[in-house]
A and B are shown apart, each in its own frame.
Chain A
Amino acid sequence: MKREKVVVSNRYGIHARVAATIVKEASKYKSDIYIEKVDDGMRANCKSILGLLALGASKGTILNLEVDGEDETDAFEAMKQLFESGIEENE
């Protein structure tokens, strides 16, 4: 299992379209992909749009990114990069 801290850098946090982008990316991989808010331990499945929305993660929230599964190396890199890039919301 791979685990590392990432930060939400989008202006309005994880709102619907950002969540949709995360789900689309996470769904490409077989691994289980979770994020967990460091401050209160709330977790969300990155393949679940409602779970991500319900996190209510605003800009600056620190998250633990956890990836576990057969393609975890690729999945972890892709997800980490997605968070670091600030998750481009443009279509």
Chain B
Amino acid sequence: MSKTFKGKPLSPGIAKGRLVFAFHVRSEGELPSEVGFVDEVRRFFKALGAARKDLELMKARISKSRMQKEVFDVIDVYLMFIEDPTFADFVVEQIRAGKPAYVAIKEYFNDYADRLSSAGDPYLRERAKDIKYVKRFLLNKLFQTEIDWEEVSGRGEILVAPFVSPVDIVNVVEKGIKGIVVEKGSETSHTSIVARSLGVPMVKLEDATEKLREGEVVLIDGSEGKVIVEPAEGYQERPVIFKEIPEKEELPVEIYANIDFPEEAKILKELGAKGIGIFRTEYMFLVRRDWPSEQEQERYIRKLLKHTGDLLVNIRIADLGGDKVPVYAEGIRELLDYRGIRFFMLKEDLFRIHIRAVIKAFAGRTLRLLIPMVSDAYEVRWVKKVVEEEIKSLDHPPDEVVYGAMIETPAGVLEIRKINQEVDFVSIGSNDLTSFMFGIDRECRLPEYLDPPNNMAIVESVKRIIRVCGAERVTLCGEVARSTKYLPYLLSSGLKKLSVNPAFIPELRSWLSEHLN
């Protein structure tokens, strides 16, 4: 009998395989209480060496993979934590005093974690989490209870674990694991970002380790967030993302990609994308530990331009705030209260640094600048004024600046006439628009009665925008843009441009070619 569990989608694609459980089982209670000094010191250094080797290996692999380096800068810091000379000195001294190594390791790291968490500085509190992670990593080495990758035969299996760290996921890929079910994780976590960029389907299912059983055959659907135990025969495995791409026949609809990292631009032509609908610059803020300088921001955007060739590129001003608050900026009150362009309007100094970097990266080119969360035409005028001022101060300005507004609040939909007069193009952010329209959490799925044709709030909003701006100037972004429930209504309203996560482009292309050609 097949049985379906509904979880949350973290990384798209469909994979089928036998479940393999991999998590930390042994507890420290099983350790001998009496320890001999020499043996214990030797055991400690062995664990230290193993941890260091793992981290070094991870670094080497990452430098070869197409992952964003910033995401893993963290490994360097972890290495320094364990190579800290005061650490080894402390542990050896404690062992000499008769304590087991694990107690000494815990004391050392807990002491620092406590000191950092009580510092009242959000940045340091976040580092306390890093310290706890390193502590666990070391203890796992000491007890040899980490995910035992030797035991995981891997190929073709689905991994179940309470939590998968960004470090574990490199192993997941190397072992040929086809999909992942986790109990904890979020769409914006580094692990999910890495899984998506590597094309490994991932679903979050609460209490997965209790609901599922080792060895069961399951199918996981990372687009819908489903885990199906003993799936019926008819269920087709869908090829993992970037590998198989349907024929590139001409479609009456243009497809663009929303991307987070410069490296993702490399695959867009293969996927048949016309360009980048949204380049989300906020990731250059989110994967760091401090505000990026103007030079760093410019470098990041130039890196993108290296890969884009003649593709159309819409650069979106960083949409910070809401669920996208960098850890080092948690203390900035305005970031908790405001989002998108309204945050930057209150922090003009940060905005000027950001916008100068963007303008400079586009020297001698056309800059298509997308403004996030526009609710009023005044916001567009404000951005234009700052951009024009900054351009005047530069020797090498862009050839031209073309402005676009992200419409993702009900206010933006209702004010579209006035906003449209200020911009050259409009992108509808359907995820946020849906959330604000229905007063429902972004991460949550709508109940079915709110879908069209019963509830037409979103469809009507899109139609209104097309009517005012003209279909040529409107791109629909986000989940709605690939929803087969919505597309028939939207396409018949004249919608011509869609922009989705690159991982979904093959799926979307095949659906469109089936239904439109």
A binding-site residues for B, Cβ under 8 Å: 11-12, 15-17, 20, 23, 45, 47-51, 53-54, 56, 58, 89-90
Given contacts A47-B86, A50-B81, 9 further A-B contacts (CB under 8 A): A15-B289, A17-B290, A47-B85, A49-B77, A51-B86, A53-B116, A56-B119, A58-B121, A89-B290
Residues on A with C-beta less than 8 A from B112 are 50, 53-54
The number of inter-chain residue pairs (CB within 8 angstroms) is: 62
> How many angstroms between the C-alpha atoms of A11 and B328 in the bound complex?
12
User: B115 contacts the other chain (Cβ, under 8 Å)?
Assistant: yes
User: Which residues of B, 121-142, contact A by the 8 Å Cβ criterion?
Assistant: 121, 123-124, 127, 130-131
Residues on A with C-beta less than 8 A from B131 are 50
User: Which residues of B, 477-499, contact A by the 8 Å Cβ criterion?
Assistant: none
Residues on B with C-beta less than 8 A from A53 are 112, 116, 124, 127
Most buried by A among B84, B119, B130: B84
Looking at chain B's contact residues, the main secondary structure is helix
Residues on B with C-beta less than 8 A from A12 are 123, 290-291, 328
User: B60 contacts the other chain (Cβ, under 8 Å)?
Assistant: no
User: B80 contacts the other chain (Cβ, under 8 Å)?
Assistant: yes
> How many angstroms between the C-alpha atoms of A20 and B74 in the bound complex?
11
User: B323 contacts the other chain (Cβ, under 8 Å)?
Assistant: no
> How many angstroms between the C-alpha atoms of A48 and B109 in the bound complex?
13
The answer to whether A56 touches B81, judged by C-beta atoms less than 8 angstroms apart, is no
User: B296 contacts the other chain (Cβ, under 8 Å)?
Assistant: yes
> How many angstroms between the C-alpha atoms of A51 and B116 in the bound complex?
10
Residues on A with C-beta less than 8 A from B130 are 16
Contacts A53-B116, A54-B115, A56-B124 given; indicate if A16 touches B289 (C-beta within 8 A).
Answer: yes
Residues on B with C-beta less than 8 A from A89 are 290
Residues on A with C-beta less than 8 A from B165 are none
Report the minimal beta-carbon distance from B84 to chain A, rounded to whole angstroms: 5
Report the minimal beta-carbon distance from A84 to chain B, rounded to whole angstroms: 19
User: Which residues of B, 264-293, contact A by the 8 Å Cβ criterion?
Assistant: 289-291, 293
Contacts A49-B77, A50-B131, A54-B115 given; indicate if A15 touches B123 (C-beta within 8 A).
Answer: yes
The interface bits of chain B over 232-271 (1 if a CB of A lies within 8 angstroms of the residue's CB, else 0) are 0000000000000000000000000000000000000000
The answer to whether A48 touches B84, judged by C-beta atoms less than 8 angstroms apart, is yes
The one of A11, A17, A54 that contacts B116, using a Cβ cutoff of 8 Å: A54
Residues on A with C-beta less than 8 A from B87 are 48, 50
> How many angstroms between the C-alpha atoms of A69 and B42 in the bound complex?
30
The answer to whether A16 touches B121, judged by C-beta atoms less than 8 angstroms apart, is no
Contacts A20-B76, A50-B131, A53-B127 given; indicate if A45 touches B296 (C-beta within 8 A).
Answer: no
> How many angstroms between the C-alpha atoms of A57 and B131 in the bound complex?
18
User: B295 contacts the other chain (Cβ, under 8 Å)?
Assistant: yes
Residues on B with C-beta less than 8 A from A20 are 76-77, 80
Most buried by B among A11, A12, A54: A54
